[in-house]
Amino acid sequence: MTAPSFTKAAGLHLLVIMSLFVLQFVLPAYHHLAITRIMVLAVFAMGYNLLFGYAGLLSLGHALFFAAGLYGAGLTAYHLGWSVPAAFVAGTGSGFLASLLIGLISLRTSGVAFMIVTMMFAQVSYLASLYFTTYTRGDEGLVMPQAARRFELFGANFDLTDPTVRYNIALALLTLTTVVIFAIVRGTTGRTLVAIRENEPRTLMLGYDTFRIKLKALVISGTLSAMAGSAYALLFAYVGSSFASIQYSIDALLFTLLGGAGTVLGPLLGTFAMFYMIDIASEYTAAYLLITGLALIALVLFFPKGIVGTIRERWVSWLP
């Protein structure tokens, strides 16, 4: 990426973050909460996109990493009484360990086999969350107590029942994720991941340790997904087995495809679009998934690489 292109791309990402910050002062209560939720889910989608969009690895097991963060944070806060920061670190750390261990096994496969192996791991985690109901309460889930929603950090007191606090924590996580993904994409690792996606045998022949690089991408991806899961549990005070189901892996894939795989801002835009598409359609009909499906078909026809991906291909080539 040339210097002018880097400046424009960095400026665009900064503008998006600043727009989200300003938006909180004018949003009605419903949309304030909705966009808080969207930003957390976008972190999940952006983590997924690093693996799928840049490394070309189609995983159906990312719900496992989201759930690792969700339960790692939720169970330690609920059963052990850990503070919010400690629970968040526990959840994110759980995702890091899970992605490292699963990566060492699943990356010995490729293509459809990789997809199936990751899906199997995710299904095991989902069944485990249903089996250990003494601690997880299965589908019923756990509701975080009020004591687990207040904490002190750097001498300041925070209350996660405050919508403004929730919004700005979600925005801070989104900002951190955007910076991390942007730095990776424009660096050597990002270019190597794209090379692996396009032609792994040639990349291997050039002397790159493709297994190590893919493992690095999966660990970063899984850790970011777990960070989103931890934030979801603590910000919205609920932990349930449904978040570990394969549907959440598919959701991350849809958010990424809709916005544009292999783009930094694509998953964020895709999460926004999917959330509000379903939200608006459900106001008019119970068959909202049919309308959403038709909209996705139209998108594939007119924006085959997703919204941001097609814009980059046709008009704005400097988008990362």
266 domain residue, yes or no = no
Alpha-carbon torsion 24, 29, 32, 33, what sign? positive
Q: Which domain holds residue 133?
A: 28-244
284 domain residue, yes or no = no
pLDDT at 150 over 70: yes
What is d(CA 119, CA 121) in angstroms, rounded to the nearest whole number?
Answer: 5
**Total count of domains within the chain:** 1
308 domain residue, yes or no = no
pLDDT of residue 295: 83
First to last CA, the chain: 8
256 domain residue, yes or no = no
Question: pLDDT tens digits, residue range 24-59?
Answer: 999 999 999 999 999 999 999 999 999 999 999 999
Output the average pLDDT for the chain: 94
Roughly what angle, to the nearest 10 degrees, separates helices 111-131 and 84-106?
140
DSSP state for residue 146 in the 8-state scheme: G
131 domain residue, yes or no = yes
pLDDT at 2 over 80: no
Question: pLDDT tens digits, residue range 66-79?
Answer: 999 999 999 999 99
73 domain residue, yes or no = yes
Closest CA to 257 of 218, 311, 291, 308: 308
Mean pLDDT confidence for 251-257? 94
133 domain residue, yes or no = yes
pLDDT of residue 146: 82
pTM for this model (two decimals): 0.96
259 domain residue, yes or no = no
Q: What percent of the chain has pLDDT over 90?
A: 84
